[in-house]
Structure 1
């Protein structure tokens, strides 16, 4: 049951001395709702019917006035302002968003709207009406008290918040803090799970790589040819002799001359060179080479640029 007052208390005129329209917001302490109020020079208060109906939950302001408010308790704002309409009054009306076509109700009309409402929104207003009636019965009159105020951050005037609203805001803030803490904990848990999953994936990748390498090594070993033991010229000649491939001393002499080069890859000698080294005639060297080729001891893969044949082991 508070009234906004932007003027210093010492400058505020009394009802008997007031000579202009005074407009301010009537604030219900129980709900924090604000209803625009117009105070006439004689001190009578008129309230914007649309504000009252909206706060009480009425869907149709005009219908609510017809059903619940007597004709002498309601009037258009234009009728109220007509007798005292001056530059100051017009400025105040426009500054508060009031239109002269708005319907206004006095205190009795406001109480009638409250008593005629059955919606839950009207309960704080009915409590206020009960307080008004009790005060009138006790003191013989009821006046609108100035609202307790505190400095606003922008330098204006701010109303003290009703305790019920303050308690609700505190509870909401506490719930938001708990929700934020729970969200942070869940995020940390989620991040921990992601780290564990990433570590497991790395371990699995390493294990798969090891398995692949293990499977690849036997396959590579299977495809690699077995190392051939290196032959010596003597072993090569013994092999040929065991198979009765060398049957004469001449053939053995030619084979012994070719063997050292054959065990290391290729033997490339001209016929004349072999004849000179072995002391055999050219035609005899030729016959010995044909015998080695025929028996499969060697095979010819070509000739050098100077015409010397190139022999290798088969």
Structure 2
């Protein structure tokens, strides 16, 4: 059963946010906005009655509005720790339908070539706009980047499954259309920030199990490698206490990278590069995912980036991660 989707980029009431702002699945840890109730109607009487003061209620936690998050480029830790080579001119093709009611952007070098291909997944509760700077930086170094907006604004197994289906649709779309933008056919890697890291893991381990209403129905939904940028890989850690719900256990297992790691066959050649900033609470997620992947026999590298916060990990100015994404996309 599909849950109704919310418009990720729409206007929402302002929220009071905690001091530490995270996105993706961490957004599901934040309290929602408390809407004001309308003033009470005056009681019919010959004497005017002063309306009751507005009252507030405390709703169940919901995602805060996208506008409340600073962009990765605005992070005080979005610094350049190494100079990138001069970037090529990038052509952006926007708002292409790749699945039902969702679109993606394609960033491609203006120079013809057979470029490696990257699928770039934003964090939970955000949109493709939040990784536009990073997408342009990757493409400018010689890659075709597909950046979709996917459903990520509901902390429930049904909604997360929908997001995984859409991410798999985006992978199939990238495979089907890469050549139109100068991309190589065959190899596809996914880079994901925050909750996008968890979705990238699901695609690597079980992408073909997620179908959905895809524009491109042929081709594999799996990816050949993952670069996790402060990934929130254990989604249940953040949402189960709020929404255990009546969903069967199987629904939860489908959206757990750890469960999929146990259930799926070993995929030879699959490689992982995981990054976590030391100024975030997700270092333990990266360490746990590294250990689980290594135990399963996969090649995995885990790097802690000193002094970097959650949003800073998705900055276009972080040469270390931009070059790591390119290297994995090229097969390195």
- TM band (smaller chain): under 0.3
Q: TM-score, normalised by structure 2?
A: 0.20
- Structure number with the bigger relative contact order (C-alpha 8 A, sep ≥ 6) is 2
Compare CA radii of gyration and give the structure with the larger one. 1
Structure with greater proportional helix content: 1
